[in-house]
């Protein structure tokens, strides 16, 4: 079984920073960056679970929901990851999004 604690820790840290960010920062770019990350993580999880199905897009639930969307998508992906390469790629996605979001 693959240890995905590093991914869930990174996702939780990013989500916590989003929750603590002022609305002005969320409006500038952080929320859009977080939503893009959540959508990508969700698509990756769906492709692993059901590669034959078309991936569904996570909806835009607003500025104040993106932290929860990142958490859910990241944890869903962590549950289905099967190899270290996938884990490393997901970690890089989270770290890059957090850096670009400026939180």
pLDDT at 1: 80
pLDDT at 68: 98
pLDDT at 39: 98
For residues 55 and 87, what is the distance between their CA atoms, to the nearest angstrom? 19
For residues 91 and 80, what is the distance between their CA atoms, to the nearest angstrom? 14
User: Could you tell me the pTM of the whole model?
Assistant: 0.96
pLDDT in tens, 11-25: 999 999 999 999 999
In contact, 78 and 8? CB cutoff 8 Å: yes
For residues 58 and 35, what is the distance between their CA atoms, to the nearest angstrom? 8
CA-closest candidate to residue 47, choices 36, 60, 57: 57
Cα 24 to chain centroid distance, Å, stands at 21
pLDDT in tens, 46-82: 999 999 999 999 999 999 999 999 999 999 999 999 9
Please state, for a pLDDT cut of 90, what percent of the chain lies above it.
99
In contact, 99 and 29? CB cutoff 8 Å: no
């Amino acid at each position: 079984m693959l240890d995905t604690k590093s991914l869930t820790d990174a996702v939780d840290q990013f989500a916590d920073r989003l929750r603590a960010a002022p609305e002005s920062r969320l409006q500038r770019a952080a929320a859009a960056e977080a939503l893009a990350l959540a959508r990508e993580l969700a698509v990756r999880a769906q492709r692993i679970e059901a590669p034959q199905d078309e991936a569904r897009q996570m909806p835009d639930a607003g500025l104040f929901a993106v932290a929860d969307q990142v958490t859910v998508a990241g944890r869903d992906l962590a549950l289905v990851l099967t190899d270290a390469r996938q884990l490393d790629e997901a970690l890089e996605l989270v770290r890059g999004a957090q850096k670009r979001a400026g939180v």
